[in-house]
Structure 1
Amino acid sequence: MASTAELDFTRSDGGQENSEIHFSISRKQLLIRLIKNKIFSLLTLGIYRFWAKTHVRRILWHGVSIQNDRLEYIGRAKELFIGFLIAMIILMPIMLAAGLITDLLAVAGPDPLVVGQVMNFVFLYFFWQFARYRLWRYRLSRTSWRGIRFFLTGSGFKYASYVLLWTIATVVTLGWAYPWQQAFRLNYQLNNTQFGDTWFTYQGTAKGLFQIYWPAILVTQIVLGIFGFYLYSVDAFGLSAEATPILNEDVFSSDPYAGWIMGIGGLVVFLTLSVLAFAVRVWEFRYLVEKTNFATARFSSTLTIRSILSIFLLLLVLGFVGYFGFAAAIYYLLILASDAGIFILMIGFLIAYIAYDIIKMLFLIVPLVEAVCKSIEISNIEAFEHAAASARKSPKYGEGFADALDVGAF
């Protein structure tokens, strides 16, 4: 269980905003917990991560209050650990069989190997989606408010199967089927969610999501089309003997500007797609909130791009500074080629490992949760008070496949 100190929450503004949902935690105590988690995970070779997740979730869940009553995370680290072991027992033979088939196809030639790699990717993608659904099913079943739990019903296998089919359709249509893919995700997840004995209902449509996504899809196709045509025209990539894409080094030797063009072009593509993804996610969130009901309760969100843009800009600056600073340090230490330089390099990697998740949690996840909670408004919130506890059974064990496939941020 988390200690009393870990659940001692403070606010810097001295009060709460005029909204039914609030989020307030002590960043100092969260920072201390994150550092402890990293140290203990290193000392136990990663085994402690199940307990680390549990501690962080208790802090984050307890930071959310609805009508002055906080959420509670009642999951246990033991459940996560046992679920992980069960998943590994199931996945290990499957992964070994997939690797053996890939090796046999490699002997047959490059074409069968490509087919095998595609099938392997499809298989992993299916399991990733299956794990994602079971992850949310477990987390909701271990979330309670005023002693009443949330639940997620439905079939993880059905969810993963339909998402896989819609993903294939999205690839075939060059992205135009993506709104229908998202429509299925939201419909299936939200309409299978309940609080106590009462269900949430989602009334969004693929048409509504299409109106949000079509400009982003069109711009993405144009940007990727231009950049892809350039790469094809200069023959920048080829295939190795293992049928994997490799960089054509002759392009750089014959054209000294090719590297700069590819680098700057890649950066432009990355920034463009990042901005588009950022914008449509905000619009999609507002849409799904407004289309979701709980009995007679209605939801709305005032979340705007501007309200959370500073979060991503700060994280982007920190990422660039950290990346270039670390790259420069590695370069100079390798030039030294001394035992002291190698030792310093190892310490640097250790610090980076510890700092990555801490920075992501403190500067991305926590500010995002704050902004989202602040933006949500609920009308007729009394509907939640009328919900009674459900006799539905919860999953016995944790997010086994999600832990095995490293699905989920925390």
Structure 2
Amino acid sequence: MTASLTVLGAGIAGLAANHAAAALGHDCVMYEAAPRAGGLLDSIEVQGYRFDRAVHLSFADQPEARAFFDQTAHAAFTPSPRCVEHPYWLKHPVQNNLHPLPVDQRVELVRGFVERPDTRPGHYKDWLVSQYGRALSARYAERYTEKYWTVPAEVMGIDWIGPRIHRPALDEVLRGAMTDDTPSVYYAPQMRYPERGGYRAFIEPLITKADIRLDHSLCRIDAQSRHLHFTNGHVTRYNHLISTLPLPVLAGMVDGIPDAIQADAQSLVATTVDLICIGVARPNVFKDLWFYIYDDDVMAARASCPGMQSADNCPPGCSSIQFEIYGSSRRPMMQSAEALQRDCAQALEKWGFATNADIAVSHHHHVPYANVLFEQGMEQRRDRVRTWLGSMGIACAGRFGEWDYLWSHQAFQSGADTARRVLASAT
């Protein structure tokens, strides 16, 4: 018998869709290309060290997602990340915490903030300059944009920003230039992380209750007959379908897609991330949950310290750090895994954290989809693709299904809400 709901992808959005369907009394079957469920929330385990697939900390605020996450024993943290621009370590965000810099540099940056243009931004670089002034924007925000998003700031739009980037008042900038005694202005006052099992532990209850067919890589959708075809030869019929697969991948598998919609789908770009996971055979090496990297001679944009998030992530007496190095079709990653590992090891030595002799583990893991790239005009192209897929009876959920900037709890809500909407049409 064909299940009421079929879900493509067993990451958090797909798992939440399954959870919502079960709560409504509907059966659901899930198909996952990988040999394990979890998607971006799965763990990497190497010689007793556990790493997430990039830094994950929960600040779920929707009641449904928060109630589910809170079922897992967890620790709570007040976010206090830092930013490194060697030899300076500044509290985040840098525009509010310039005090460690030499006086003449602080004066230049504050003057630029005061003289920032009051113009209507046409793209992300305009927005940055209008918020921070030309000097702060060029020295920090624009440099970081190219590291993290892999494109110049003027290529990106501004609709995605929301609360993610702090917009300071003059009093905040002045105070942070004069003293280190500054309040946190991070967008989440508290962040949570499981006591054991890595970030994956938050979704483990969803995984254990789901009917997941692993190692099923989709290759074709016949939306007219409602059949799915997989590379292993399996063919199955569906009643209602939710996809959490990346939109460009999904669209290329649907029979009869119009050329214009296919072109829109293939124009959508996401970043990749190469994760360099390093275990250090010394305790208490790091003190940050995560930090941002502005050094031009370090390829990574960000680093997190899993052992700070949970002692369960490291062997006793050890420490760990994970670097995130981003690429995309706009700036392909040309370096070998060995070169990336050397670059990160050199950074640790430069910052005074560890030498090569201290490193017990160095592991590389490539994630082909990290973040949606918000190039100008992307939202209109994305919406045309999603509208056409909807007309074919294919609903989309999650970060890459919706093709949006969704945190883990938002992806959970996306999957649950989509399942309820799809199944409501079945009654």
Same-fold call, TM cutoff 0.5: no
Q: Which one has the bigger strand percentage?
A: 2
TM-score (norm: length of structure 2) = 0.23
TM-score (norm: length of structure 1) = 0.23
Structure possessing the higher radius of gyration over alpha carbons = 1
